[in-house]
Chains A and B, each alone.
Chain A
Amino acid sequence: MKSSLDGMAPNWRQRLALPRGIRDAINGVDFNRFRFWLQIFFFVLLVYGGFTGLNLGNNLPTFSCGYNQNGRPGVCYLLPLQHQLAMPTKALLGYASLTILSGLFIFFLWFIVLNKGWCGFVCPLGTVQDWITDLRVNMGVRFTRYSQASFEALSWMKYVLLALMIVIPLGIGAGYFSHDLGAPYCMICPARLIIPTLALNFDQLVLDFSSPGKIVMTTLGAITTGLFLAGSFVKKRFWCFFCPMSAFHYLLSKSAFFRLIKDGDKCTRCGDCYTVCDLQIKEIADDVRNPQIMMDDCIVCLKCVAACPEQGALKATFAGLTVFESTEEGFIKRMEKGTRA
């Protein structure tokens, strides 16, 4: 059957497309193993890279925790953002706003490369959660899934935390709140206790009794860390559901180069993508109309693409070029190796 494309010159995507052999090799890769080693690489880089003098700046779109003083090769952007937003309001409305805008711009430049893939492949806290999940699997303990009602009730929390992360520092700068509430999200983030501890810096494992504000914030931080450890054991990517960085990413995701695309015409509604999704995103299976299938909870781990048996139904693209797509051959190969949900 003739196609309307017959006889037409190849477009730029076709010109830049990888040769078929390489495409098949990528699409048929042992995805779990690839992701596992990539996560280890980024974990070592972001937790211990600072010991080599590496300096990636202070605008990173991932949890390279700033409290990991010696090990960090760069700083998670949320920490300097909160500090900058806490500047006196007069300065904030003046030339200091250039500091924030320039910081946001550099953060944006980092972010658009991987979109929310920073969460699924790079974030060290996400990697810790995946390792806790592996521990649970090896212990033979069953995982937990939220009910749909719970999912919908809890999914707004990341936006609340994002709003508080911005409002409280602004209130500090305006004189409404004490500086003891400085960097409020960092004070409750489990990464502040866990990441430095993994770099043998135990300074954050304390409760600070110097003021009521510090008592509250450091206690909240200890509580969220305890909940993180218990929650991550039974729920895959437990903290990603509440993470304000995830919410922040989603607000900027429309401009990113890296995308998760669905061709609804090829979807057979088998539900494999939803089954393997750590974040229980229903739309990945149910939505067959919207090609931009990345939701706010998505961490672009691409497990759905790896688990999809339909050729081209799901794909990851970079600047419009397909880098990884679902194929029947890849699905069969991964099922034979035992793709783990």
Chain B
Amino acid sequence: MRSERSAKGDRGGGMSEANDATAMSGMSFGRGPTVKTLALRIGSEPLGAKDETLPDSAIQILANDGVRSSAPLVNMGDASRAKVEIPNYGFYNASVTRKTVHGKFLDVQIAQAELLKGAMAHGGHSEHDPKLFKATMDDKAPFELIREHGPDEKLWTTIRSGEKASFLVRSYGSPVAGAHVTLVSQEGWRKTLTTDANGRAEFTVIRDYFPDWADFNRRHSGVFLVWAEKETPDAGVYDGHDYSATRYQASLSGRYYPSPADYESYGYGVGVVVFVTAFAGLSIWLFRQRRRKSFKEIVFNEKLA
């Protein structure tokens, strides 16, 4: 389960949503569909994000089979939470949108989350159905940011430090070229790229987890935040206010884990196997040689007699 936060950085506002740890309590064995709790947060860095409220709103959920649903965003004082049911295996696309007019701009902020109902169950159907492994994209969304899935992605694939993380920016199902995409790691490292003609921006997730060996946790997850921005000349009226341009911002978050190269060694592994095989083989050979003693007859030395 991921804690997902997204933010709009430079303009001091934005939306984010988090899938916090309490979501684990929504996961139980055999008691109905999986329920994830989403939290709305705002900020430009994962660790500094704060709770945000958005009254009278609902999370829109798109399943990988195209079924749409929604879940109310419940305001709890300074925070907003939504409980989302994800009954089937695969990836879901959840989003909530806020529109405001600032000066001549309509700011459309879309906070997104990629939800996964996955399984490590061995031998299950979910291991072999490729439809379940694809990212869920919304062709009706005016602006969306999607984490691109690799060809080998399954329901338990994780992003590791040092690996590529590729994102697609789309508008009504078509790629958006020239959008600015910024990725921020948990420790605050950030990079901004511009999408290519296919709407793609590819980052290398850096390693920023350097504990002492005794404190190292291979399951440690960092949270990355990524957002895409694009300005368009779309004009109109919103909520009684005129605007002459539209600024879109879509945000997404995810988790990344230490790279196996940080703690696994092929050299030592193969070395131990080879050493033990050789040592055991040599021991067996020496044992057999020692048992094969040559016959030594007693010789009477007449000269000494």
A100 nearest CB across to chain B (Å)? 12
- 6 A-B pairs closest in CB distance: A226-B276, A58-B123, A230-B280, A222-B272, A210-B218, A210-B263
Q: Does A211 contact B (CB under 8 A)?
A: yes
In the complex, what distance in Å separates the CA atom of A229 from the CA atom of B276?
9
0 or 1 for each of A38-60: is its CB under 8 Å from B? (1 = yes): 00000000000000010111110
Q: Does B12 contact A (CB under 8 A)?
A: no
B258 nearest CB across to chain A (Å)? 8
Q: Does B275 contact A (CB under 8 A)?
A: yes
In the complex, what distance in Å separates the CA atom of A210 from the CA atom of B269?
14
Do residues A230 and B266 form an inter-chain contact, with CB atoms below 8 A?
A: no
Q: Does A75 contact B (CB under 8 A)?
A: yes
Q: Does B238 contact A (CB under 8 A)?
A: no
* Stretch in B61-69, B109-117, B124-132, B172-180 touching the partner: B124-132
A sample of 6 inter-chain contacts (CB < 8 A) reads A53-B128, A55-B128, A207-B268, A207-B269, A214-B218, A223-B272
Which listed residue (B30, B213, B264) contacts A208, Cβ 8 A? Answer: B264
In this complex, the interface size class of chain B, counting residues with CB under 8 Å from chain A, is 20 to 34
Do residues A226 and B274 form an inter-chain contact, with CB atoms below 8 A?
A: yes
B contact set with A: CB distance below 8 Å: 29-30, 121-125, 127-128, 213, 216-218, 258, 260, 263-266, 268-270, 272-277, 279-281, 284, 288
Q: Does A99 contact B (CB under 8 A)?
A: yes
Q: Does A144 contact B (CB under 8 A)?
A: yes
A contact set with B: CB distance below 8 Å: 53, 55-59, 66, 74-75, 79-80, 83, 87, 91, 95-96, 98-99, 142, 144, 193, 202, 205-211, 214, 218-219, 222-223, 225-227, 229-231, 233-234
Q: Which A residues touch B122, using CB under 8 A?
A: 58, 66, 75, 79-80, 83
B18 nearest CB across to chain A (Å)? 25
A224 nearest CB across to chain B (Å)? 8
Do residues A222 and B29 form an inter-chain contact, with CB atoms below 8 A?
A: no
In the complex, what distance in Å separates the CA atom of A321 from the CA atom of B260?
54
Closest to B270 in A: A205
